[in-house]
Structure 1
Amino acid sequence: MSTGEIVLRILFWGSLAAVVYTYFLYPLLLRGLSRIPPNRRCAAAPLGGSELPKVTMVISAYNEEQVLPEKIRNCKKIDYPEDRISFLFGSDGSEDGTREILEAIRDRRFEVLIRPERRGKVQMLNTLVPRTQSNIVVFSDANTMYEPDAIRELVRLFVDPRVGCVIGKQILYAPENDLESCRTESTYWRYENSIKTMESAFGAVPSVNGSIFAIRRELYRELPGQAITEDQVLGLRIMTEGHRGLFAEKAIAWEPVSTLTDELRRRIRISAGNFQSLFLVPRILDPRRGWVFFAFFSHKLLRWLVPFFLAVMLGSNLLLAGEPFYGSTMAVQGLFYLSGILGAAVPKLTGAFKILAIPKYFLAMNLAIVLGLARFLSGKQKVTWFKAARH
């Protein structure tokens, strides 16, 4: 066996091992570790009305006239003492009826800040959060609807003074279904949420979702104006500063699903922001951060590198395909990629053959990572982004 063949084998098996580890072995490792006592699960208990901290929900809304009325109604249905919760909406440069809807609110718990010029979500948050005087700040999106007890479920974890931030559980729903009756979520999100639940037992959940995300007010520091994924940057900052970041599985928020094309655009933007976060929060790459680093490396960083592992695995496999075993693995790879391409090119096929949806979405999300990296490196990702249309 030549040196070149040995190198090709190392590249093939090394790349395969990285993909298998981040998607399969890491969750299994978490499951095993969580059963070894004592774990470091943070204590949480129901809080009475007099113990509940003051909370402000912050929402930056740009051109959200279609969802704002429902969002306002949803805020009013939240089960939390009226004297301990407030809602702070900000809008900058909206070109539809967003401003008029917000200014028509007649509720002392609501505060509205309007800016005529478009500056972007990050700048709006940097303006809004310093105006809050609550113990806890909850970040939300205009098109995200909370279960009535979601805020209570978020804040109960702050009983532990070591906790700096809490991520809620986002569930995607098809808008043609009624919000109250739609109680199913994709296999992928069930898988992701199970990982977050296990990571939470060790005090660091590196996957932050800005649509239902709570922090201690005193931990907020002005975000860099160029931040693309401000929620990711904020969460990683807090966790690398020594505070715990937990997942509140019972704090549920609902958000409508988007088409694959819209989701791809959104994922490209998120991917650009993910790579940017490595430069904005470089401490996350320091192994001395312990569990925070380990969880980030295993759950996030390796995921972002998967498309490149796939490319190496495909290329090395192609060069080894003359051998019977590697010819078989090449056939398996070819079938997987062909299935994904067919599923994307002929959407009806994924309806008839649901198994095709797996390679289709897997390839689409990894394509988004590559395009997101290219956009980040080229500096073409704007901070004043436009949200993917929800259907």
Structure 2
Amino acid sequence: MAEVVIAAIAGLAAALLLGWALWARPLAAMRADRDGLKNEIAEARGEVARQQQERAGHAVEVQALQKRNGELAAAERQREALTAELSALRAGQAERDRAHAAEVARTADTFQTLAAKALDGAQVKLAERAEALMKLQHQAADAGLEKNRNQLAELIAPVKDTLVKYETRLGEVEMARKEAYGSLSEQLKGVVLGQERVSGAAAKLETALRSSGKVAGRWGEEQCRNVLEAAGLVEGIDFETQWSVDGDDGAKQRPDFKINLPGGRVLVIDVKCSIDAYVSAAESEDMAVRQTFLTAHARAVRTHADGLAKKDYAKAVGNAVEFVVLFVPGENFLGAALEQDRSLMNDFFKRQIVLAGPVNLVAVARTVGALRDQARLAKEAAEIARLGRDLYESIRIMGGNFLGVQRALETAVGNWNKLVGQVDS
């Protein structure tokens, strides 16, 4: 029995040894394959992670490009809007120039027509009176009345003097009109040359303006003066600078400019030239930073306009018009402020403050010049009318004297005939 058990155990051990011999090698190979697969899976996962990181980087770059494209599109739209606004301003200015030229032409034609009618009527009456005078002189010569001829010459002298004054005044008016048209052409040429000089010195000017507030203020005042002079106004006559008035509290107030209007009234102009924030915005490439500077620029313009409204120059001056002009020496400066603060213009217009750039100020100055010319023409027309009345009065008096001379001559001739008849009888 023990032998059987031993034999069974020995057989079982042999079977186990045989099984282990048969399965040991495939199991090691399978373990090696499993380790290899694990390594490949780890490498694949690393590759996937790397590709995901690259994809995330590409997504960030795409978003940055899309943002940049959006900014470029917004800048292009802004440029197109500014271009359209500039075109509209130029078209409006051209239309105002044409209307002004047409009004001047109509005024000149009307004046020439009235003057021609007045002169023609005076010449006809003068011819009739001259014919009567010639007949009277002929009669006086035939009668040998040298004294009557001298009296007639004395009667004619006032009429002759009045006509000479009349023709001289008409010549002066015509010469003044031609000089006005010539000066307008020269002023327009001056504007073009001035703009070329300004463009050439823009870089130096920017540095000077940003370096000192006083320099910027003086530059703004000089720009305002150039605009007024280019529109035909003369400093010291049509406008004045740095004059002072007493405010409600007794303190001296010094507006930058005042324009003298017909009728003794004045238009007050104050200059605003703070462009540091605007220039910083133009130089910045970051849209957020640029927007911050533009907002600060609009806020500076509003602050200055608010301070100007509180000064109430129109009330302090007394004979000023109801509104005050706030001059910003650059259409781009004013346009940027209005774009950021769209209610800026209307808010201060309600407070009698008008914001104006060079284009609008030129229109205002030319309107003032047209009013000045109209007032001068009206004054000259009144002078011509006065000369016409004087001429009529002289002719009327001369006619009365003619009748007196005629009656005296008739009486003298009648008495002479009676005397001759008595002598003959």
TM tier, smaller: under 0.3
Larger Rg: 2
Task: Pick 1 or 2: higher relative contact order, CA cutoff 8 A, min separation 6.
Answer: 1
Say which structure is richer in strand.
Answer: 1
Say which structure is richer in helix.
Answer: 2
* TM-score, normalised relative to structure 2: 0.18
